[in-house]
Structure 1
Amino acid sequence: MRARSIMVLGTSSHVGKSLLAAALCRIFAQEGYRVAPFKSQNMSLNSAVTREGLEIGRAQALQAEAACILPSVHMNPILLKPTGNMTSQVIVHGKIWGTLSAANYHLRRVSELFPLACESYQTLAFENDVIVLEGAGSPAEINLKSQDIVNMRMAEFADASCILIGDIDRGGVFASLLGTVELLEPHERSRIAGFIINKFRGDIKLLEPGIRLIEERLGKPCFGVVPYIADLSLDEEDSLGLPALDSHSDTSWQSPGTPSRPLRIAVVALPSFSNFTDFDALRAEPCVSLQFCRTPDQLAAADVIIIPGSKQTADDLYWMRSHHLDKSILSHAKTGLVVGICGGMQILGTEITDPHKMESSSTVNGLGLLAIRTSMRPDKMTRISCGHLLAPSLFGQPLSSTDVRGYEVHLGETEYLEGASPFARISADGWNGTFLDGCIADGGNAFGTYLHGIFDTDSFRHSFLIAARQFCHLAAPERLEDWRQRREQSLDRLATTVRSAVDLKTIFAFAGITCNEELQAKEDR
């Protein structure tokens, strides 16, 4: 192993580990180091696809972006995708390894999977100067520690110094920091170099007495206090980062409004909602008000209803019917716009069968808006795809661009029925020829596609919004976002904020590397 390493641990889930790891990746890259992220095991329904068509956690793809490198399957060798009933689909090195119960996985992961994670770490370590590791949950989950492969066992293998992150925004930060360290074994505590308090709002002077006391109790230094950073427009790893489903405070949904009002987009928040980052770019547009919805009342005022990806498509369709969302969507489709992404497209078809019992043991009728039917297959399709729409219009409105791009992550194989109109023709690296994707409904006001991330491409998203607003008799957008530029600005803003908030000179030293002269002079001042 050649690279030096540093590890970001948390007192619990959603304390900001992923974004602080991304910040360190960007800072190390800005200082001229070859840096790569690493998380041995991730549990998330948000995934990304590498150029080779291999599936990894979305957080590591974001961290690779922060490090200015392409994502690799070695950055997240083990990905768990919960399937319900205390089971998860286990993805190893980007491909399905099996579906295991929590108990079975717990028994097998150290002996069978940890060596594979170590191999991936060594691959990255040989190619880079520094590795930024990320833990999962808390390293002090004492009921799971004996079989844990993502926190202290991985830190020991990588010989990594660890930074412990506490989230002050949720309260109890000092107790959570102290409790975490106290529950570690002595040799594990020695790896904790110091701690960072994250998501702080308020007067830092009021916090300082607590910091001094907790430093004394822990015998560890505080590396800094990172302020709460609003509107970052960066990927959330899990559903804890979603806006509250009942917080529909946007008044534009309460009244008819004017032609210049935002386009109201309702995304159905399915129980097995996957890849909710598909909608980050839409949420960032000033001409859009996007809400995550779970009741017919919440859908009633929408201009566009989107059914997103699902890890358990048939189960989510049953859930929709039990909550009468199917009737609301079919009623809306008579005059409004409907979109299905991946599993959402399958739901909009006529039928979903699962002969191999990959997700369900039954056949279920879809909503019937699209002339397609889907059969679940054992092999998952994972690839990055691009192409163009087959028609120069959308929702009956002409388009300035018909280019599409995204990535596919699905088990289903979809068959076109008589009279079906495919949505796009696409191609993918490593695949010969071109393929048909998606489907458009008769009348043109509903479509589906397998392409996750389709709204991340500015040209398609802009064309989609202009066409949707025209269909809904709304004024053209006054301004449209450059999503790639916004993400780069957000990553730079994150790195700049962390730079100014933490003791980078000491963090660099614990990582086993040195600051360059400009950074060291800045820190010394």
Structure 2
Amino acid sequence: MAKTIMVQGTASHVGKSVLVAALCRIFYQDGYRVAPFKSQNMALNSFVTREGGEMGRAQVVQAEAAGLEPHVDMNPVLLKPTGQASSQVIVLGRPVGNLSAQEYHLKYAGKAWEAICGALERLRRRFEIVVIEGAGSPAEVNLQATEIVNMKVARQAEAPVLLVADIDKGGALAAVVGTLELLPPGDRSRVAGIIINKFRGDLKLFRPAVDFLESRTGVPVVGVVPYFEGFRIPEEDTVAEEIIAAARLPRRQDLDIAVVHLPHISNFTDFDPLQEEPDVNLRYVGQGTPLGEPDLIILPGSKNTIEDLIYLKRSGMAAAIVRLHRERGVPVVGICGGFQMLGRELCDPQHLESSVPRTEGLGLLDVQTVFLSHKVTTQVEAEVAGDGPLLSPTRGQKVVGYEIHMGRTVLGEGTRPVFRVYRRLGEEVDCPDGAQDERGLVWGTYIHGLFDAREFRRGFLNALRARKGLPPLEEAARLDHWEQRQRDYDRLAAVVRGSLRMDKIYQLLGLPGPRWACSR
């Protein structure tokens, strides 16, 4: 049966997910079979496993860091917010319905807990170490009796807890002391170590604060992790504030790509590979950031497509997008929900995503989408079938990705597919995907992750360069997106290993320490 350790936080967004990924990588490097686990994740950024199950992106990242293929047991319950105080509930990779917060806690939490315990048990039988991530704060006194993601999981797993505080936002010492004061005595005794995260400055000057925490709480500080930059680990559920802020700064890259920041934006990690390209200034617009006159506009995925489309219309963003395309020829690409928005109309007769039964789309593609109760969750392999100035240079190239959607989109006259899917969940198929307009300057697809394909990504960007009269940028001898992530996991592990008392953490696990020192 696997040893367990749990990472909880004094609040949301203190860095728990990234630290769990780092610990998974460290244990993996040290020769252990390690798996991540988060009982319940509330996130719009999700992923589809090889088996077709949906799970939170954070546990996918952590699985990759552990050298594993993601499995829904690592995140047995996923809540995808659909509106005010309601979410789509996904258990062991499959949707069970949309529930209000009250319905979920009063009527469904018991079943969810059964699934959580079963998944944790299976992981503990398969692996030697399970690193568990909590959610929010364990000190929310109104939730302590009903929560199924923090101390209840720690008790079930018999896991010592590392409590993380984000010092970059200020108030870290008070957050640690306050959290421990609000925990019941039994739960408080489970907190075996404190981690101060995102530290900037001189560690010597911080030593009195460490002494204070240890004296005041009786809990050792097992590490002070620096604020690290220069490499990126995918975000869990929101576009990082520093990325949005950076979009407001002037940059001189050849290509300016604007991604519309929707209220219910999902799977925004689709665009991380674009952000890493040397000739691309990728910026998120819509949160106080003007649209400007970009070389490409991308409409991303959404968990509430109709409501987000209404938001675009009310904010004036929809009219601006249409005007830029029709008057200046700015290309527009839509992914999943963004693809649906590009069409003539969206219909939700069963109110699966919204209380609005029908709304007009942007009218840039002659397609119609109807939301259906069946949810498509599948990995796919496809080839480019589109043409025109943006897609002809990549025609026939392969892309690999996944689909997560509840809509069925029907193409009208003057539109044609963008991709041909030839494999779904490992089985041979021959299915069209997406649509493009007659000029080839507007296209949409249901495939997430397609920009991970290096050859397709570079060819598409070079097509944008050609429209500006710029020469193509030759593919440099760079790592592909997957290889770069693996290198970043190693760099993350090195930073965190050097900042934590790993001897103390191995002691908490009841393990002797590294089996070998290696970097896989």
TM, length-normalised to structure 2: 0.95
| 1:395 alignment partner, SS class | helix
Displacement of 1:299 in angstroms is 1.5
| 1:146 alignment partner, SS class | coil
Q: 2:347 aligns with which of 349, 353, 370?
A: 353
Aligned to 1:485: 483
Displacement of 1:111 in angstroms is 2.0
2:448 corresponds to 1:452: yes
In structure 1, what is the Cα distance between the partners aligned to 2:449 and 2:343?
21
| 1:145 alignment partner, SS class | coil
Aligned to 1:523: none
Q: Is the 8 A contact 2:29 2:517 kept in 1?
A: no
Q: 1:372 aligns with which of 346, 367, 370?
A: 367
Aligned to 1:291: 283
Q: 1:505 aligns with which of 498, 503, 518?
A: 503
In structure 1, what is the Cα distance between the partners aligned to 2:386 and 2:99?
43
| 2:259 alignment partner, SS class | strand
Aligned to 2:402: 407
Q: Is the 8 A contact 2:32 2:515 kept in 1?
A: no
Structure 1 segment 173-322 matched on structure 2, within 5 A: 173-239=172-238, 241-243=240-242, 245=244, 248-252=247-251, 261-294=253-286, 298-322=290-314
Q: Is the 8 A contact 2:386 2:436 kept in 1?
A: no
Give per-residue Cα distances to partners, 1:111-146, cap 9 Å, x unaligned. Answer: 221111000000111110010000000111111111
Displacement of 1:420 in angstroms is 1.7
Displacement of 1:403 in angstroms is 1.3
In terms of mean alpha carbon deviation, does 498-507 or 412-421 score higher?
412-421
In structure 2, what is the Cα distance between the partners aligned to 1:76 and 1:232?
25
**1:441 counterpart letter in structure 2:** D
| 2:429 alignment partner, SS class | coil
When residues 181 and 297 of structure 1 are mapped into structure 2, their CA distance, relative to the original with a 3 A threshold, is closer
**2:309 counterpart letter in structure 1:** L
Give per-residue Cα distances to partners, 1:450-485, cap 9 Å, x unaligned. Answer: 011111121211111111111222343366552122
Q: 1:333 aligns with which of 316, 325, 331?
A: 325
| 2:7 alignment partner, SS class | strand
| 1:332 alignment partner, SS class | helix
Aligned to 1:31: 30
Aligned to 1:49: 48
Q: Is the 8 A contact 2:163 2:191 kept in 1?
A: yes
When residues 8 and 311 of structure 1 are mapped into structure 2, their CA distance, relative to the original with a 3 A threshold, is same
In structure 1, what is the Cα distance between the partners aligned to 2:108 and 2:346?
33
Tell me the matched-pair count.
512
**1:442 counterpart letter in structure 2:** E
2:385 corresponds to 1:385: no
Q: Is the 8 A contact 1:82 1:88 kept in 2?
A: yes
Q: Is the 8 A contact 1:10 1:166 kept in 2?
A: yes
**1:16 counterpart letter in structure 2:** G
Q: 1:343 aligns with which of 334, 337, 352?
A: 337
| 2:278 alignment partner, SS class | coil
In structure 2, what is the Cα distance between the partners aligned to 1:234 and 1:394?
33
**1:340 counterpart letter in structure 2:** G
Aligned to 1:168: 167
Q: Is the 8 A contact 2:195 2:225 kept in 1?
A: yes
In structure 1, what is the Cα distance between the partners aligned to 2:74 and 2:392?
42
Q: State, as a whole percentage, how many aligned pairs show the same letter.
A: 45
Aligned to 1:74: 73
In structure 1, what is the Cα distance between the partners aligned to 2:21 and 2:244?
27
| 1:383 alignment partner, SS class | strand
**1:95 counterpart letter in structure 2:** R
Give per-residue Cα distances to partners, 1:77-103, cap 9 Å, x unaligned. Answer: 000001112111111111111211112
TM, length-normalised to structure 1: 0.94
When residues 240 and 145 of structure 1 are mapped into structure 2, their CA distance, relative to the original with a 3 A threshold, is farther
When residues 243 and 478 of structure 1 are mapped into structure 2, their CA distance, relative to the original with a 3 A threshold, is farther
2:113 corresponds to 1:114: yes
Displacement of 1:413 in angstroms is 0.8
**1:485 counterpart letter in structure 2:** E
In structure 2, what is the Cα distance between the partners aligned to 1:34 and 1:146?
33
Q: Is the 8 A contact 1:109 1:147 kept in 2?
A: no
When residues 400 and 286 of structure 1 are mapped into structure 2, their CA distance, relative to the original with a 3 A threshold, is farther
Give per-residue Cα distances to partners, 1:344-364, cap 9 Å, x unaligned. Answer: 000001111112110123211
How well do the aligned residues superpose, as a CA RMSD in angstroms? 1.9
When residues 141 and 47 of structure 1 are mapped into structure 2, their CA distance, relative to the original with a 3 A threshold, is same
Displacement of 1:242 in angstroms is 4.1
2:457 corresponds to 1:461: yes
In structure 1, what is the Cα distance between the partners aligned to 2:148 and 2:350?
31
2:512 corresponds to 1:514: yes
Gaps of 5+ in 1: 521-525
**2:269 counterpart letter in structure 1:** T
Displacement of 1:245 in angstroms is 4.1
Give per-residue Cα distances to partners, 1:137-184, cap 9 Å, x unaligned. Answer: 011111111110000000000000111111111111111111111111
2:97 corresponds to 1:102: no
Give per-residue Cα distances to partners, 1:400-435, cap 9 Å, x unaligned. Answer: 862122110101011111232100101212555221
In structure 1, what is the Cα distance between the partners aligned to 2:338 and 2:240?
21
When residues 296 and 142 of structure 1 are mapped into structure 2, their CA distance, relative to the original with a 3 A threshold, is closer
In structure 2, what is the Cα distance between the partners aligned to 1:230 and 1:371?
44
**1:453 counterpart letter in structure 2:** G
Q: Is the 8 A contact 1:236 1:277 kept in 2?
A: yes
Q: Is the 8 A contact 2:239 2:268 kept in 1?
A: no
